Chain A
Amino acid sequence: MEIVKEFIIDFSRGIFSVIMQMVIIITIIMVVLEILRSFGVIDFFNKYLYKLTRFLGISKGASLPLFIGIFIGITYGAASIIESYQQKEMTKKDVILVSTFLCLCHAIIEDTLLFMAIGANPFIIVLVRVIVAIIITLVVRFFYERKHHTDELDNNENEFNQEIK
C-alpha cells in the first residue's frame, strides 16, 4: 500500500511540474510569435532562416518551427508545427521532414549541457547529432519525393487516358 501512495505522490508531483513547464513555455512562445507576426518580423526571419534550411526540401513557413524545435525542445517544436500547419504555412511534406529532423535533433542546448556536465565531449555530440539529422531528413525527402513523383505521373497518365477516350 505504501508503494502505491508513494507512486501517486510521485506521479502527481512529476506531472504537475511537466504541465506547468509546458503552460509557461508554450504561452510565452505563442504570444511572442503572435506579436512578432503582427509587426511582420516573422516574415523577415523566415526569409533568412529559409536560406539555411532550403536544402532540406522544406518550404518557407517551416523554418521557424524547425528552429524552435532544435533550440527549445521537441514538444514546443511540435506545438509550433501544429499551429503553422493549421495556418496552412506548412505542407504535409514539410510536417514529415521537420518531424523527422526534430525526432533526431532537438533541444540541443539543454541536452548538450546535460551531457557536458557529466563529461561528454560537446563538439562531438552536437556535430554527430546535427549531421545525422540532416542525412536522415534528406533520405526521407528522397523517398517522399520519389513516391509522390510517381503518384503525379500516374495522375497525368490517367488524365491522358481519359482525354484519349
Chain B
Amino acid sequence: MKVLEASKVGLIKAGKTIWKLIKIVVPVYFFVKVLEYVQILPYISNLFSPLMKYFGLPGEAAIVIITGNLLNLYGGIAAMQAFSFTARQITIIAVMLLLSHSLPVETTIIKNLKVPRILQICIRVVTMIIFALILNLVWK
C-alpha cells in the first residue's frame, strides 16, 4: 500500500516536472536544429581557427569546438570524424568539449534554476579556455 501511494505521488511529480522541462526544451531544440540547417557554423569556426594553436590543436579543431558548443556533443563528435587528430589532440578536444557543450539547451535548463545564462556561459567558456591552455602546457 505504501509503495502504491508513493508511486502515485512520484507520478504526479514526474508529470509536473516533465511538462516544465518540455516547455523549455522544445523551443531551444528548434533553435539548435535551425542552426544546424542554416550552415553558419563553418564561417564562425574560420574566425576562431587561428586561436587553436594555443591549445596545441590544428585550426580544423575550431569547427569541432564550435559545433559541440552551439549544437551538442554528438554534432561535435560527428565533425571530428572528418579530420584525423592524434590521441593527445583528441583528449584535449574532449576536455574542452566536456567542460563546455550544448550551450543553448543546457544553459536554458539551468537558467530555470535562476542562475543567469550569461554567468553560466562565462563560467563554462572561461574554464574551457583556461584548462585547455593548462593541459596543453602541462602534458608534454
**Chain A residues in the interface with B (C-beta under 8 A):** 3, 7, 10-11, 14-15, 18-19, 22-23, 26-27, 29-35, 37-39, 74-75, 78-79, 81-83, 85, 92, 95-96, 99-100, 102-104, 111-112, 114-115, 118-121, 124-125, 128-129, 132, 136
B7 and A35: CB pair below 8 A? yes
A124 to chain B, nearest CB (A): 6
- Which one of B26-34, B40-48, B49-57 is at the interface? B26-34
B90 and A119: CB pair below 8 A? yes
- Pick the contact of B20 from A82, A119, A121 — CB < 8 Å? A82
Could you say which residues of chain B place their CB within 8 Å of the CB of A121? 87, 91
**Chain B residues in the interface with A (C-beta under 8 A):** 2-3, 5-7, 9-11, 13-14, 17-18, 20-22, 25-26, 29-30, 33-34, 37, 73-74, 77, 80, 87, 90-91, 93-95, 97-99, 106, 109-110, 112-115, 120, 123-124, 127, 131, 135, 139
B14 and A27: CB pair below 8 A? yes
Q: Which secondary structure dominates where chain B touches chain A?
A: helix
Q: Which secondary structure dominates where chain A touches chain B?
A: helix
Could you say which residues of chain A place their CB within 8 Å of the CB of B115? 95-96, 99-100, 103
Bound-state CA distance A99–B113 (Å) is: 8
Bound-state CA distance A11–B53 (Å) is: 36
Could you say which residues of chain B place their CB within 8 Å of the CB of A129? 95, 98-99
Could you say which residues of chain A place their CB within 8 Å of the CB of B37? 3, 7
Q: Which of B87, B112, B127, B139 has most chain A Cβ within 10 Å?
A: B127
Give me 17 A-to-B residue pairs in the complex whose CB atoms sit less than 8 angstroms apart, sorted by A's number. Answer: A11-B29, A15-B25, A22-B21, A30-B10, A33-B10, A38-B6, A75-B109, A82-B20, A83-B17, A100-B123, A103-B110, A104-B127, A111-B98, A114-B77, A119-B87, A119-B90, A124-B139
A82 and B113: CB pair below 8 A? yes
